[in-house]
Structure 1
Amino acid sequence: MALPTTMSSPALSTLPTYVSTSKSRLQSLYSDIHRQKHSNPSSFHAYVDWWHGTLKDVISRGWQGSDGSDGTSNKLILGARRALVDKLRYEGVGKPLGLGTTIAEMRRNNDLIPLSQFLTSQQSMYDPGWLPYRIASFVVGKPLWWAMEQLDIVRSEDSYTEAEMWKKIEGDYVMLGLVVQAADTLETLRGGTGISPADNLYTFEEFRKEFGAKVLPGVVLSEIDTKVLIKHLERERRVVVQIGDVIKFVTADHDREITAVDRGILELKTAVRNLREQVDNIQKKIDQTTSNISKALRQQRKSIALAELRFKKHLDDSLSKRLGSLHNLESTLISVETAGGDIEIMKTYESSTATLKAILSHPSLQRDKIEETMDALAASTADAREIDDAIRMGGDMVAVDAGIDDTELEAELNALVEEVEKERAGAVEQAVLEKLHSIEAHVPEVAPVEAEAAPRRTAEAA
């Protein structure tokens, strides 16, 4: 979707930063607050952060317009020009009055990097070596700049009008956050190196066709976007190397070269891809010709059907030849890849052999040294065994000197066991007796009726 000269409010209102922002807040964000950088820094930085998110969304959707060199809109690059102010007009709010100041601040924060600098710099933007330079710039440069401001030799940025700020910052800038997002997506898609050497080799156009429509949702990268992405992958992530039109995915620093074998494989891969496209095109023409023949026959136009049939025969012959060539090229590519793989295997063998030789040449692994070490180990083991035997014998002697007899110990142990068993039996017997006594205490000796009748029987007897 191309960005019109004046973007409609409904289009802007779909962006996440606008959805969550009230109209009164938008009016504040669209105002010119560049003088608040020192008077109200928290508000100023919140303002810059909001516009940072908004510009990322606008760029990644291709809403800047067809500003790419190939006629497509850039998706990773901000075209910082005054026309952008008009494109971001919002109904009921107006134009963003402080956009130039915002872009200047984003450039200072390295959220935006000048396109020419990004493409030509040899040093990574993540290189910690930049830190001392930044510190020196702050410690040395800032006081000097302040002194020059006091003498009216130079002007403070706070004194620039918005129009003057635009003249200072106008140009093309790489949106670093979008480049990182695209690179993350690409590495996730690839999941490492390819299965075969050909899977890791691309021309620039093949790279763009393969990944240009996949790294950002719903859009296709422009030619300059692709160059920026490749530069980031090569310099910051070190996962590709590019020489001329050849791009190679790599996994280690020792593989960061493009050999004659790589170029040969890429040429074969490109030829195979071109032949496949030719085969597909010929097959489409054959299908279309077959349809034309059927249509002509239905309309009783036999002469046209005959002409189409002759054309189809030529196409069939051409297809047969192209399929034969494709088969030969694919076989050759497989053979070359196999040979290239064999070279890598032999390099690994050579490296392993050299490593093994280096290890075996160590003085500790010489035969005389090994025999000496093993003899010393046997002697040490014998000494340790003798010491252990001596300690054990000394313990036995100490036990004898203490007058301890195992027979006496066993007899004493048996006596203790018998004593414990007797105590246990006595305790059981005592418990039984107590239980019997309790039973007797609850049973009366004479029934009550018999007790009353006994005196009467005694009296009658008398």
Structure 2
Amino acid sequence: MPPLSFLRDSPVPDPSPERLAALYAFTRAQATSNPDGYASNVAWWGQVLAAGLQEGTLGDADGSGSAASSRAGSAFKPDLASASSKGPRDTLVLTVDDGLLSRVTQDGRRPKGLGGVVESLASERSLMRLAAYNALTSGVEQGPGLARRALGAGLGLIGGLVWGKGAPAPEETCWKTAQGRWVHVGNVKVSSRPTYEAAATSFAAHLAANPPLHHSDCLFSRATFLETFATTAPEAPLTKRDVDVLLLYLQRDVGSVQIDGDVASPLGLGEGPITEADRGTLSVKSTLAAVEAQIEDIESQSAKTMDKVRSSLKAGQKAGAAAYLKSKKGLDDVLSKRIATGEQLRSVLRSIDDAKSNAEIMSAYELSTSSLASALADPRLSPDRIANTTDALADVLADSKEISDAIEIGGAQARQAAGAPEFDEDELAAELDVLVLEEKTAQKERAEREAREAVARKEAEGKAAAARKVAEEKQKVEEKEKKEREERERAARVAAAQQAIKSSEKVAEKTEGSKMTEEKERAERERLEKESQRLPAE
């Protein structure tokens, strides 16, 4: 069957029509009658919800939509318009409302058991109330205590003893309680599918591949963080609500980002905690971004105004052209001021980065100075110890040389006593020079011989090439003569055939003439016979 209409890439093998119908028809009551089947259905919907969020098809649109309370049991009014809102949808926050039911509708069917699915996923801590997630003081992996208490106020106990005697809560109650906003913990920290990356993992990979070069590059507001990293996390861009969830996870659970109010900075890129100076730097950076946006807008307006000037001149509207030109001059004046302001802000930002870099360099100098001083303080590097060590080394080397000399003298005396021949070093050197000269002469002769052989090969190749060329020319001449001869023979055959045809035509003409003469004579005889027969009768 075709894939689910609300997923671009189905996270699980497409179910059969019968299986899909069952997945849309089951309710919370199946948890008692068929626990294994219910768990399988919940697992399938868990994968579908995770993939739909990551693909940007199931979340609330661009932070808009229903203003659901994130506390269990609170009144909730779904906003069906959120299903058709424009803009990116949440990828880390699942908004459970009627809009979600509309988005997962397949072939006109709505799932009946989605409330129980949300309850089960919450009990597994795959989903966590947004308010409970924000209230955690420790990471989501630090134990179930606080998170379980927060969930227990809403969903954690509904499926069990609240309704007495272990009976599960009705699906209608589960659905009513499940409505609201939930953080999809798996989409934040762990890939739910091999082809997807969790937001935190992707953020770390992007930062490692694109490390900031300057101090100002390490400072982000929540808005600039969204602009910078929105397209680097899941398959769909992050929304403002996603960024709030991700930043909190990176700060509280991972410890890779420090946040102070609206200022965020990746740890390891900045130096120390966020300061007022950092806030000022971020303010300059934000102002520069705003000025650059204004410059682009003014340049666009100026270009459009100039087009109006040209259009007015073509239409002969000189007064209108003058008015538009005056407007353009005003825009150009504002543009020049904005450009000057932008350059001044860039200069300020460069000065801040330069000062920060200089401070880091001085810190490195101080650290290297203390490291070098600590190394030089090693007792082994004291002048007296160095002098004693080098003196001792010199004595040992002198003793070693005396031993080597004594061994050499003793060896010479032993060879002489054994009658070993003595060699004249000068004579050996002269003989070695002769051998070297002979080798050089042999190399020279070998090189000359190889050169002569190369010349001979080249000449032989030239002669062979000339012979091949002569043979080819001869072959061409013979082929040409053969072709001409064949043409002459063919022309002769054609002429003979034509002559034969003409001769046969003449014979045919003569034969035809003879036949006509005979017929005329026969006709004349018949006429004369008739005439002769008529004469006696008269």
Q: TM-score, with normalisation over the residues of structure 1?
A: 0.67
For 1:223-238, list aligned pairs within 5 A. Answer: 223-238=240-255
Aligned to 2:171: 162
Aligned to 2:478: none
Q: Is the 8 A contact 2:308 2:321 kept in 1?
A: yes
- Rounded Cα–Cα distance in structure 2 between residues aligned with 1:170 and 1:346: 56
Aligned to 2:128: 113
Tell me if 1:291 matches 2:307. yes
- Partner secondary structure for residue 282 of structure 2: helix
- Partner secondary structure for residue 236 of structure 1: helix
Residues 35 and 162 from structure 1, CA distance in 2 versus in 1: closer, same or farther, beyond 3 angstroms?
A: closer
Aligned to 1:51: 45
Aligned to 1:68: 63
- Partner secondary structure for residue 173 of structure 1: strand
Aligned to 2:259: 242
Most deviating of 287-296 and 171-180: 171-180
- Rounded Cα–Cα distance in structure 2 between residues aligned with 1:306 and 1:46: 75
- Rounded Cα–Cα distance in structure 1 between residues aligned with 2:26 and 2:347: 66
Residues 40 and 153 from structure 1, CA distance in 2 versus in 1: closer, same or farther, beyond 3 angstroms?
A: closer
Q: How far apart are residue 292 of structure 1 and its match? A: 0.2
Aligned to 1:24: 18
Higher alpha-carbon Rg: 2
Paired AA for residue 57 in structure 1: A
- Partner secondary structure for residue 322 of structure 1: helix
Aligned to 2:284: 268
Most deviating of 31-40 and 280-289: 31-40
- Rounded Cα–Cα distance in structure 2 between residues aligned with 1:316 and 1:342: 38
Tell me if 1:251 matches 2:245. no
Paired AA for residue 186 in structure 1: F
- Rounded Cα–Cα distance in structure 1 between residues aligned with 2:385 and 2:210: 46
Q: How far apart are residue 155 of structure 1 and its match? A: 3.7
Q: Give CA deviations for 1:340-385 in whole Å, capped at 9, x if unaligned.
A: 1111111222223233334444556555666788889999x79x98
- Rounded Cα–Cα distance in structure 2 between residues aligned with 1:286 and 1:67: 33
Residues 273 and 13 from structure 1, CA distance in 2 versus in 1: closer, same or farther, beyond 3 angstroms?
A: closer
Aligned to 1:203: 221
Q: Is the 8 A contact 1:74 1:224 kept in 2?
A: yes
Aligned to 2:479: none
Aligned to 1:435: none
Of 117, 121, 136, which aligns to 1:102?
A: 117
- Partner secondary structure for residue 258 of structure 2: strand
- Rounded Cα–Cα distance in structure 1 between residues aligned with 2:338 and 2:361: 34
- Rounded Cα–Cα distance in structure 2 between residues aligned with 1:324 and 1:247: 29
For 1:315-394, list aligned pairs within 5 A. Answer: 315-361=331-377
Q: TM-score, with normalisation over the residues of structure 2?
A: 0.59
Q: Is the 8 A contact 2:96 2:178 kept in 1?
A: yes
Q: Give CA deviations for 1:377-428 in whole Å, capped at 9, x if unaligned.
A: 999x79x98xx99xx9xxxxxxxxxxxxx97xxxxxxxxxxxxxxxxxxxxx
Tell me if 1:306 matches 2:322. yes
- Rounded Cα–Cα distance in structure 2 between residues aligned with 1:88 and 1:265: 46
- Rounded Cα–Cα distance in structure 2 between residues aligned with 1:372 and 1:108: 75
- Rounded Cα–Cα distance in structure 1 between residues aligned with 2:135 and 2:162: 32
Q: How far apart are residue 214 of structure 1 and its match? A: 4.2
Q: How far apart are residue 26 of structure 1 and its match? A: 1.1
Structure 2 unmatched ranges of 5 or more: 66-84, 190-197, 408-416, 419-538
Q: Give CA deviations for 1:69-125 in whole Å, capped at 9, x if unaligned.
A: 487542221112355345433337x33232222212211222112211222323122
- Partner secondary structure for residue 48 of structure 1: helix
Aligned to 1:441: none
Q: Is the 8 A contact 1:115 1:172 kept in 2?
A: yes
Q: Is the 8 A contact 1:35 1:158 kept in 2?
A: no
Q: Give CA deviations for 1:2-53 in whole Å, capped at 9, x if unaligned.
A: xxxxxx9972375504762211111232233646657765544432221112
- Partner secondary structure for residue 308 of structure 1: helix
- Rounded Cα–Cα distance in structure 2 between residues aligned with 1:283 and 1:256: 40
Residues 85 and 286 from structure 1, CA distance in 2 versus in 1: closer, same or farther, beyond 3 angstroms?
A: closer
Tell me if 1:80 matches 2:96. yes
Q: Is the 8 A contact 2:45 2:117 kept in 1?
A: yes
Count of residues paired in the alignment:
371
- Rounded Cα–Cα distance in structure 1 between residues aligned with 2:166 and 2:388: 79
Residues 288 and 67 from structure 1, CA distance in 2 versus in 1: closer, same or farther, beyond 3 angstroms?
A: closer
Residues 67 and 276 from structure 1, CA distance in 2 versus in 1: closer, same or farther, beyond 3 angstroms?
A: closer
Of 176, 182, 185, which aligns to 1:173?
A: 182
Q: How far apart are residue 306 of structure 1 and its match? A: 0.4
Aligned to 1:11: 5
- Rounded Cα–Cα distance in structure 2 between residues aligned with 1:366 and 1:116: 65
- Partner secondary structure for residue 264 of structure 2: strand
Q: Is the 8 A contact 1:240 1:250 kept in 2?
A: yes
Q: How far apart are residue 310 of structure 1 and its match? A: 0.8
Q: Give CA deviations for 1:217-264 in whole Å, capped at 9, x if unaligned.
A: 3x4433211111211222233332111111212327x83511344223
Paired AA for residue 96 in structure 1: P
Q: Is the 8 A contact 1:204 1:245 kept in 2?
A: yes
Structure 1 unmatched ranges of 5 or more: 1-7, 393-405, 408-462
- Rounded Cα–Cα distance in structure 2 between residues aligned with 1:206 and 1:123: 27
Q: How far apart are residue 293 of structure 1 and its match? A: 0.3
Residues 157 and 323 from structure 1, CA distance in 2 versus in 1: closer, same or farther, beyond 3 angstroms?
A: farther
Most deviating of 168-177 and 277-286: 168-177
Q: How far apart are residue 330 of structure 1 and its match? A: 1.4
- Rounded Cα–Cα distance in structure 1 between residues aligned with 2:394 and 2:123: 72
CA RMSD of aligned residues (A): 4.2
Q: Is the 8 A contact 2:12 2:47 kept in 1?
A: no
Residues 356 and 42 from structure 1, CA distance in 2 versus in 1: closer, same or farther, beyond 3 angstroms?
A: farther
- Partner secondary structure for residue 25 of structure 2: coil
Most deviating of 358-367 and 20-29: 358-367
